[in-house]
Amino acid sequence: MAVVAKPAGVLATGARPYEGTKIPSPIPTVLQVDEELRESGDILEINFGPNHPSTHGVLRLVVELNGERVVGIKPMIGYLHTGFEKNMEAKTWWKAITYAPRIDYLAFQHNELVFVLAIEKLLELETPPKAVWMRTLLCELNRLHSHLVWLGTGSLEMGAISMFWYCFRERESILDLFELVAGFRMHTRYFQTGGLAEDVPVGFYAECQSFADAMPARIDEYEAMLDGQKIFLERTQGIGHLSAADAIAMGQSGPILRASGVDWDLRKRQPYLAYDQLDFDVPTRPTGDTYDRFKVRLLEMRESVRIIQQCLDGMPDGPWISDDRKVVLPPRHELHTSMESLIHHFKIVTEGYRVPEGEVYVPIESPRGEMGCYVVSDGGPRPWRVHFRAPSFVALQGTAMFVRDTLIADMIAILASLDPVMGEVDR
Amino acid sequence: MSPFASVPGFVEQKESFGETTVVVDRERLVEAAEHARDELGFNFFVDMTPTDYLGWGSRGVAGYWGSPPPSSTRGWEPAQRDINTPFPGSQGLPRMPEPKPKRFSVSYHLLALEQPPRRLRLKVWADEGEPVPSVVSVWPAADWFEREAWDMMGITIEGHPNLVRIIMDEDWEGHPLRKDYPLGGEPVRFSDED
Complex confidence, ipTM: 0.87
Interface membership of B167 toward A (CB under 8 Å): yes
Would you state the pLDDT for residue B87? 44
What type of residue is B89?
G
Q: What is the mean pLDDT of residues A148-161?
A: 87
Q: What percent of chain A has pLDDT over 70?
A: 95
- Per-residue confidence (pLDDT) for residue A308, from 0 to 100: 93
Write out residues 378-397 of A within 8 Å (CB-CB) of B. 378-382, 384-385, 387, 389, 393-394, 397
Question: Which three-class secondary structure string do you get for chain B?
Answer: CCCCCCCCCEEEEEEECCEEEEEECHHHHHHHHHHHHHCCCCCEEEEEEEEECCCCCCCCCCCCCCCCCCCCCCCCCHHHCCCCCCCCCCCCCCCCCCCCCCCEEEEEEEEECCCCCEEEEEEEEECCCCCEECCCCCCCCHHHHHHHHHHHHCCCEECCCCCCCCCCCCCCCCCCCCCCCCCCCCCCCCCCCC
Q: Assess whether pLDDT exceeds 80 at residue B117.
A: yes
Q: Do B139 and A29 touch (CB under 8 A)?
A: no
Please compute the mean of the pLDDT values over residues B96-124 and round it to a whole number. 87
Report, as an integer, the average pLDDT of A70-86: 89
Contact B62 A351 (CB under 8 A): yes
Q: Comparing A113-117, A226-230, B15-19, which segment has the lowest mean pLDDT?
A: A226-230
State chain A's mean pLDDT as an integer. 86
Answer yes or no: do B46 and A372 touch at CB < 8 A.
yes
A408/B contact by beta carbon, under 8 A:
no
pLDDT of residue A15: 41
pLDDT at B65 over 60: no
Q: What is the mean pLDDT of chain B?
A: 78
Considering only alpha carbons, which residue of chain B is nearest residue A358? B16
Q: How far is CA A234 from the centre of its chain?
A: 27
Find the range with the poorest average confidence among A13-22, A97-106, A394-403: A13-22
Residues sharing a CB contact under 8 Å with residue A45, sequence separation 6 or more, in sequence order: A62, A63, A64, A65, A72
pTM of the model: 0.88
Contact A26 B49 (CB under 8 A): no
Confidence of residue B193 (pLDDT cuts 50, 70, 90): low
pLDDT in the model for residue A422: 87
Chain centre to alpha carbon of residue A84: 17
Residues of A in Cβ contact (< 8 Å) with B51:
359, 376, 384-385, 387
Residue A7: the pLDDT is: 42
Does residue B139 have a pLDDT over 80?
A: yes
Q: What is the DSSP letter of A281?
A: -
Q: Would you place residue B1 in the very low, low, confident or very high pLDDT band (cuts 50, 70, 90)? A: low
**Predicted confidence (pLDDT) at residue A380 exceeds the cutoff of 90:** no
Q: Is B121 on the interface with A (CB under 8 A)?
A: yes
Mutate to test the interface with B, among A77, A258, A376 (most CBs of B within 10 A): A376
Q: How do residues B19-29 score in pLDDT, each as one tens digit? A: 999 999 998 99
- Do residues A185 and A109 make contact, with C-beta atoms less than 8 angstroms apart? no
CB contact under 8 A, B161 and A374: no
pLDDT at B100 over 80: yes
CA-nearest residue of chain B to A9?
Answer: B114
pLDDT tens-digit readout, A329-355: 888 888 899 998 898 888 888 888 888
Instruction: Point out the residue among A1, A5, A29 whose CB comes nearest to the CB of B144.
Output: A29
- CB contacts of A372 in chain B (<8 Å) are 46-47, 109
Residue A45: alpha-carbon gap to chain centroid: 32
Q: What is the pLDDT of residue B170?
A: 86
**pLDDT at position A10, please?**
46
Burial pattern A238-250, b for ≥16 Cβ within 10 A else e, equals: ebbbbbbbbbbbb
pLDDT, mean of residues A132-154:
92
Question: Is A9's Cβ below 8 Å from some Cβ in B?
Answer: yes
Cβ <8 Å between B167 and A78: yes
Using CA atoms, how far residue A236 sits from A14, A155, A295, A412, in Å, is: 20, 10, 10, 10
* Mean pLDDT of the region A215-228: 88
Residue B70, pLDDT above cutoff 50:
no
Predicted pLDDT at A131: 92
Residue-wise pLDDT for A33-55, tens only, equals: 888 888 887 888 888 878 776 66
- For B7-43, how does the pLDDT look when each residue is reduced to its tens digit (9 = 90+)? 888 888 888 888 999 999 998 999 899 888 888 888 8
Model pLDDT, residue A145: 93
The tens digit of pLDDT for each residue in A175-210 reads 999 999 988 888 888 998 988 988 899 889 999 999
* pLDDT at residue A134, as a whole number: 93
* Pairwise CA distance, residues A56 & A149, whole Å: 11
Distance CA A143, CA A139 (A): 6
**Cα separation of B152 and B167, whole Å?**
8
Q: Cβ separation of B177 and A26 shorter than 8 Å?
A: no
